[in-house]
């Protein structure tokens, strides 16, 4: 299932069930799992491992060298899970330092021209729309939806089930379950539709709404708002625990 014009460098490990299209390039340190499809003119390079059932569309570049000027050589890595889709001209970069890794989970969709920079950590079931970009060291949780042409600043964290509106400029951390929009992006409301689609109960959604009001509508600073979350909302609720835990991990402040 390898086209005669594809270039598979010596050392590459390609599962016998994988399909490699015309004029595709597979670098010498690449590992490609079962049932993965690399379409014509796509490039997989660097110390990159793809799991099973991924699809790489034409002209995508998976495993490109970091843009980080601090790169001093070595063998940084890119690790990709299963069932991801990388559409046309998507670029996913290796990490910067020797043996460190950019990580992409499973069941994500990256639409045309989306970009994931060095050292990012992308969860599972995320969607990055066309032209969306993550700066270096960005962390995305699970089920994050990044709108068209949105940009996320280096070292930002985006919590699970968040929604980033089209053309958003995200320069601070985005708490889970929230919707942000604007330049710079601010939290507008909760991601109610996304939570309903993912099967959250009405009780969980009401807890998220109550947390949103405390965080963003009461005029409190972050520490005051978190104190109220802990005092007034259900600490046994998974969504409330995640909001509190995310706050403890946040380094750039909340959007």
The residues assigned a catalytic role are: 118-119, 136
What values do phi and psi take at 241, rounded to 5? -60, -40
Q: Cα–Cα distance between 247 and 186 in angstroms, integer? A: 16
Burial class (CB in 10 A: 0-12, 13-18, 19+), 166: middle
Q: Cα–Cα distance between 130 and 96 in angstroms, integer? A: 25
Q: Is 100 helix (H, G, I), strand (E, B) or coil?
A: coil
Q: Is 179 helix (H, G, I), strand (E, B) or coil?
A: strand
What values do phi and psi take at 76, rounded to 5? -65, 165
Q: Is 211 helix (H, G, I), strand (E, B) or coil?
A: helix
CB atoms within 10 A of CB 237: 17
Q: Cα–Cα distance between 212 and 95 in angstroms, integer? A: 35
Residues 6+ apart with CB under 8 A from 231: none
């Amino acid at each position: 299932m390898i086209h005669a014009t594809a270039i598979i460098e010596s050392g590459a490990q390609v599962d016998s069930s994988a399909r490699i299209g015309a004029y595709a390039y597979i670098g010498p340190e690449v590992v490609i799992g079962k049932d993965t499809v690399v379409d014509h003119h796509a490039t997989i390079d660097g110390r990159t491992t793809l799991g099973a059932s991924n699809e790489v569309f034409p002209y995508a570049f998976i495993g490109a060298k970091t843009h980080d000027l601090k790169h001093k050589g070595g063998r940084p890595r890119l690790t990709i899970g299963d069932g991801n889709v990388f559409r046309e001209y998507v670029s996913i970069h290796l990490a910067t330092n020797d043996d460190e890794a950019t990580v992409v989970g499973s069941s994500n969709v990256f639409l045309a021209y989306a970009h994931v920079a060095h050292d990012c950590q992308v969860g599972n079931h995320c969607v990055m729309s066309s032209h969306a970009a993550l700066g270096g060291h960005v962390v995305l949780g699970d089920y994050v939806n990044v709108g068209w042409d949105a940009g996320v600043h280096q070292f930002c964290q985006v919590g699970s089930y968040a929604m980033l509106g089209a053309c958003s400029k995200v320069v601070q951390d985005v708490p889970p379950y929230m919707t942000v929009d604007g330049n710079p992006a601010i939290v507008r409301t909760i991601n109610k539709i996304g939570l309903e689609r993912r099967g959250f109960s009405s009780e969980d959604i009401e807890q998220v709404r109550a947390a949103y009001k405390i965080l963003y509508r009461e005029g409190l600073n972050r520490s005051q708002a978190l104190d109220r979350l802990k005092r007034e909302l259900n600490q046994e609720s998974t969504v409330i625990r995640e909001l509190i835990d995310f706050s403890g991990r946040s380094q750039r402040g909340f959007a």
